[in-house]
């Protein structure tokens, strides 16, 4: 148990038999009336985001979430198999939990796996990854001076928008949160 004064981003709460991760919180002390805490919570299993207000000092039940760095090994057709780097224990993760993480995850790359009582809740990727462009249409002469973009397919199969001057075989840095192009890597 914790009070609303102990809330911080990333904390997982057990509310109404569901697990909710704190995305944002704000302590509010109005000029009149009691203080309260305004929060934005994300359901860990469904991804639904809600706004919830607590009275200041209210006790909330926290959930024990184990976070561990794991290495992605392979996709066995149904699940994605990860291995704990310390214990060499292999953990299967369902496609529903993976979500769009598969767009930025190569074999042997690292990810943070969060689990509660043996059930994998979610996956946190690094904020950016380096991937190779496997296909993109060639840029036309004169395209280099314009600020336009074109679609490019990455080695994971994901498609992102890149500047017109990039070619197939170029390594690029990609933001895993929104799939945006961050720059070219030599």
Q: What is the pLDDT of residues 133-178, one digit of tens each?
A: 999 888 765 555 556 788 999 998 999 998 888 888 999 999 988 8
For residue 14, give the 3-state DSSP assignment.
Answer: strand
CA nearest to 157, candidates 179, 139, 177, 138: 179
- Give the DSSP H/E element, type plus range, for residue 181: strand 181-185
The CATH architecture one would assign to domain 2-60 is Roll (2.30)
Domain positions in the chain: 2-60, 66-124, 128-185
Question: Among all chains, which residue has been given the structure tokens 């720059």?
Answer: 183
Query: Does the model's pTM come out above 0.85?
Result: no
Q: CATH for 66-124?
A: 2.40.50.140
CA end-to-end distance (rounded Å), the chain: 49
Q: What is the pLDDT of residues 5-64, one digit of tens each?
A: 888 888 888 888 888 888 899 999 998 889 999 999 988 877 789 999 999 888 999 888
Give the class (CATH, top level) of 128-185. Answer: mainly beta
Q: Would the CATH topology of 66-124 be identical to that of 128-185?
A: yes
Question: What pLDDT, on the 0 to 100 scale, is given for residue 141?
Answer: 58
Q: What is the pLDDT of residues 84-138, one digit of tens each?
A: 888 888 999 888 888 888 888 888 889 988 888 888 888 888 889 999 999 988 8
């Amino acid at each position: 148990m914790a009070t609303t004064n102990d809330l911080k981003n990333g904390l997982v709460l057990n509310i109404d038999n569901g697990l909710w991760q704190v995305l944002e919180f704000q302590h509010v002390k109005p000029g009149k009336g009691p203080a309260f805490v305004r929060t934005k919570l994300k359901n860990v299993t469904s991804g639904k985001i809600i706004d919830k207000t607590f009275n200041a000092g209210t006790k909330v039940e926290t959930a024990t979430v184990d976070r561990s760095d794991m290495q992605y090994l392979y996709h066995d057709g149904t699940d994605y198999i990860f291995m704990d780097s310390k214990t060499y224990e292999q953990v299967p993760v369902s496609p529903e939990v993976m979500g769009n993480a598969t767009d930025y995850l190569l074999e042997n790359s690292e990810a943070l796996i969060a689990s509660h009582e043996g059930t994998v809740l979610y996956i946190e990727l690094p904020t950016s990854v380096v991937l190779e462009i496997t296909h993109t249409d060639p840029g036309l002469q004169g395209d280099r001076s314009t600020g336009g973009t074109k679609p490019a397919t990455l080695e994971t199969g994901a498609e992102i928008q890149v500047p017109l001057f990039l070619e197939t075989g170029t390594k690029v840095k990609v933001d895993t949160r929104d799939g945006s192009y961050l720059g070219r890597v030599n």
